[in-house]
């Protein structure tokens, strides 16, 4: 199903021939693929930590079918936990590609398909270094895999060797001082997940910036891609917190990068310029902020007895209310379809709950005026983690396809009616809107040096749009993602053509992704990649440099375009 989705005709024209040419990564079955004994020799150099992929869904298919085990897998398939404990599974169903899961016919044997061929359960930088050297020597595709949360398939790939960072769990709270910051800091191994960092911070009366999903990895795709948080209107994005990276670059060198040392260029790139691109992060040191009381509010209503025009007028009012809310330091998550609206939740770090309720009054007053029977629930907590555990609901995976766009504050201030009209057309056509309302401007982030997409600084609404996933209708899924690409997102782009989209929650088919996901940082990022990854060992879909490669139908990765350092990168291929 992979490439029916892009413009096949134009691609075929540039694809190299099907034989294993050096323009393509060596693929299992090719003559260049290392022998069993070469793999076995390699396994010894990495302390026997090489894992041959057995896809997670194996008990659901012949000849290994086990109905009991498969039922357990099916019950947990839409929860992140099941996937990040696996060395190969990924949560985004489009990229799992239906080759081994509980939703397809038992009689169809599993194939590895788009799953990695091998992974390495790394526990030392040397394992990573050896892996990169082995892969470079044999021209093998490398994947950096942490939790497998990525919506755009960047943590999986056919015929690849994965560097699996999940078990790098070192975690330490300490003092930190440099020219720009003095205070508490948290150093996390690359495998540390949100809940682990929140917990240790909480025990130390601190709070750290992390995602809404407690199991996303903080030092992986999240902080490297930007990272929005319930605390972002108070402290900025995940990437804004970073003080130091330890990273193994594309040639296997272990580097400690800070804003002020000789590696400040890769420090800048790793902080917001995208995961899986410049090196394999070993650890991240970030600011840890003093703990505060945190309030929360959630609210929900439906369109019962309400004309569509009134229902959408409440959304217009909600937008008008957002600047005051986020400027006070609150962050808001909300979602709606054409029939129901949910705030889930508003987080108010150091905002007393009574003030939070008051900040929302212009909106609730309109609900009262329209006689809308809404349910509101509020809470006051002594810490962020307390609020998080009580008010942040479970987020399911494998149920949707995604696309997104950042809406600048100016659109809400000057063109709110047109914005609501666009959202109305999109939700009436069957998509679900999910919003993140925040103020991550430089006034909030303070003096930072990083590659965060500049559009984040102007954004008021990080829009995510989703369409429902069906396991048994590939053609419809392609159609829906095309509708996302060519119909939904363009309605938002038209309102703010120079804004952009959050790479971690954007559309994997995003045209002109270089500008939309990276903005004016793209050229500088591409140069830094060529310095630290001169052999182009790192590739990930929509990552910097990725337009120079194509994944074929069977997943084979082939070079299609040489990077020219002197050329502008925008719009290549």
Return residues touching ligand NAG (CB under 6 A). 1-2, 43, 48, 50-52, 66, 68-69, 87, 97-99, 113-114, 121, 123, 158, 167, 298, 300, 308, 327, 338, 342, 344, 373, 375, 377, 379, 390-391, 393, 409, 428, 430, 439, 441, 443-444, 474, 553-555
Cα–Cα distance list, 188 to 59, 62, 258, 287 (Å): 35, 41, 15, 11
For residues 5 and 560, which CB has a smaller minimum distance to ligand NAG in the complex? Answer: 5
Token readout for 512 is 């002109």
Q: Which stretch binds ligand FAD (CB under 6 A): 55-63, 118-126, 140-148, 196-204?
A: 140-148
Strands 459-468 and 549-551: unpaired
Residue 214 in the binding site for ligand FAD (CB under 6 A): no
CA distance linking residue 366 with residue 382, whole number of Å: 31
For residues 104 and 559, which CB has a smaller minimum distance to ligand NAG in the complex? Answer: 104
Residue 154 in the binding site for ligand FAD (CB under 6 A): yes
Total length of the chain:
573
Residue 91 in the binding site for ligand FAD (CB under 6 A): yes
Backbone angles phi, psi at 555, to 5 degrees: 95, -5
Kindly write out the interface string for residues 499-538 of this chain, putting x where it contacts ligand FAD by CB under 6 A and - elsewhere.
-----xx---------------------------------
Within 484-540, where are the H helices? 489-493, 513-518, 522-532
Cα atoms in the 13 Å half-sphere on the side-chain side of 19 = 3
Tokens 């495998």 locate to 191
Element (H, E) at 37: helix 36-45
Residue 344 binds which entry of ligand FAD, ligand NAG, none, with Cβ cut-offs from 5 to 8 Å by kind?
ligand NAG
Q: Which stretch binds ligand FAD (CB under 6 A): 93-101, 221-229, 550-558, 565-573?
A: 221-229
Among residues 55, 93, 102, 220, the one that binds ligand FAD under rule CB under 6 A = 220
For residues 426 and 495, which CB has a smaller minimum distance to ligand NAG in the complex? Answer: 426
Residue 167 binds which entry of ligand NAG, ligand FAD, none, with Cβ cut-offs from 5 to 8 Å by kind?
ligand NAG
Cα atoms in the 13 Å half-sphere on the side-chain side of 537 = 30
Q: Is the dihedral of CA 179, 180, 183, 189 positive or negative?
A: negative
For residues 218 and 297, which CB has a smaller minimum distance to ligand FAD in the complex? Answer: 218
Among residues 82, 101, 150, 316, the one that binds ligand FAD under rule CB under 6 A = 150
Which 8-state DSSP code applies to residue 45? H
Minimum distance from residue 556 beta carbon to ligand NAG (Å): 8
Residue 190 binds which entry of ligand FAD, ligand NAG, none, with Cβ cut-offs from 5 to 8 Å by kind?
ligand FAD
Tokens 């911070």 locate to 201
In the β-sheet with 182-189, what is the strand arrangement from edge to edge? 171-177, 182-189, 279-287, 242-249, 254-258
Minimum distance from residue 551 beta carbon to ligand NAG (Å): 7
For residues 3 and 563, which CB has a smaller minimum distance to ligand NAG in the complex? Answer: 3
Q: Which stretch binds ligand FAD (CB under 6 A): 122-130, 216-224, 287-295, 410-418?
A: 216-224
Residue 228 binds which entry of ligand NAG, ligand FAD, none, with Cβ cut-offs from 5 to 8 Å by kind?
ligand FAD
Q: Peptide bond before 63: cis, by omega within 30 degrees of 0?
A: yes
Residues 6+ apart with CB under 8 A from 566: none
By CB neighbour count within 10 A (0-12 exposed, 13-18 middle, 19+ buried), where does 337 fall? middle
Residue 347's CB is within 10 A of a number of other CB atoms, namely: 28
Interface residues with ligand FAD (CB under 6 A) are: 80, 91, 144-151, 154-155, 165, 190, 211-213, 216-217, 219-222, 224-225, 227-228, 275-276, 280-281, 395, 397, 504-505, 540
């Amino acid at each position: 199903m992979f490439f029916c989705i892009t413009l096949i005709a134009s691609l075929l024209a540039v694809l190299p021939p099907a034989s294993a040419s050096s323009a393509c990564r060596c693929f299992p079955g090719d003559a260049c693929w290392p022998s069993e004994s070469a793999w076995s020799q390699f396994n010894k150099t990495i302390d026997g930590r090489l894992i041959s992929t057995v896809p997670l869904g194996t008990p659901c298919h012949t000849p290994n079918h086990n109905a009991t085990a498969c039922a357990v897998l099916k019950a947990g398939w839409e929860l992140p936990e099941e996937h990040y404990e696996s060395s190969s599974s990924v949560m985004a169903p489009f990229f799992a590609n239906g080759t081994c899961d509980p939703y397809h016919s038992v009689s169809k044997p599993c194939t590895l398909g788009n799953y990695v061929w091998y992974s390495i359960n790394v526990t030392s930088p040397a394992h990573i270094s050896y892996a990169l050297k082995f892969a470079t020597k044999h021209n093998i595709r490398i994947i950096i895999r942490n939790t497998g949360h990525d919506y755009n398939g960047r943590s999986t790939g056919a015929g690849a060797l994965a560097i699996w960072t999940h078990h790098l769990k070192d975690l330490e709270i300490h003092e930190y001082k440099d020219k720009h910051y003095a205070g508490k800091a948290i150093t996390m191994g690359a495998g540390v997940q949100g809940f682990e960092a929140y917990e240790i911070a909480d025990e130390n009366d601190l709070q750290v910036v992390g995602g809404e999903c407690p199991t996303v990895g903080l030092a992986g795709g999240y902080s490297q891609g930007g990272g929005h948080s319930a605390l972002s209107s108070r402290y900025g994005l995940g990437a804004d917190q970073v003080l130091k990276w330890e990273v193994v670059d594309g040639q296997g060198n272990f580097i400690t990068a800070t804003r002020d040392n000789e590696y400040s260029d890769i420090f800048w790139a790793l902080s917001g310029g995208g995961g899986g691109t410049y090196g394999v992060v070993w650890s991240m040191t970030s600011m840890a902020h003093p703990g505060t009381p945190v309030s929360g509010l959630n609210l929900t209503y439906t369109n019962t007895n309400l004309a569509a025009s009134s229902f959408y007028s409440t959304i217009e009012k909600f937008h008008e209310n957002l600047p005051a809310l986020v400027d006070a330091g609150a962050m808001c998550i909300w979602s709606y379809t054409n029939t129901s609206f949910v705030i889930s939740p508003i987080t108010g770090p150091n905002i007393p709950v009574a003030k939070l309720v008051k900040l929302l009054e212009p909106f609730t007053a309109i609900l009262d005026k329209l006689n809308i029977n809404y349910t509101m629930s509020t809470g006051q907590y002594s810490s962020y983690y307390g609020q998080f555990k009580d008010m942040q609901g479970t987020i399911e995976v494998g149920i949707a396809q995604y696309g997104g766009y950042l809406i600048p504050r100016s659109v809400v201030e000057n063109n709110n009616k047109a914005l609501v009209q666009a959202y109305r057309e999109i939700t009436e056509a069957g998509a679900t809107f999910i919003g993140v309302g925040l103020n991550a401007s430089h006034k909030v982030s303070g003096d930072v040096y990083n590659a965060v997409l500049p559009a984040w600084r102007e954004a008021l609404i990080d829009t995510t749009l989703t369409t429902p996933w069906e396991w048994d209708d590939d053609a419809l899924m392609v159609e829906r993602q095309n509708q996302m690409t060519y119909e939904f997102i363009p309605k938002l782009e038209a309102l703010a053509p120079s804004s952009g989209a959050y790479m971690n929650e954007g559309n994997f088919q995003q045209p002109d992704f270089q500008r939309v996901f990276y903005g004016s940082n793209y050229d500088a990022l591409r140069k830094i990649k060529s310095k630290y990854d001169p052999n182009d060992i790192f590739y990930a879909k929509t990552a910097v440099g990725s337009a120079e490669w194509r994944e074929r139908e069977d997943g084979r990765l082939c070079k299609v375009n040489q990077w020219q350092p002197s050329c502008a990168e925008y719009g290549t291929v």
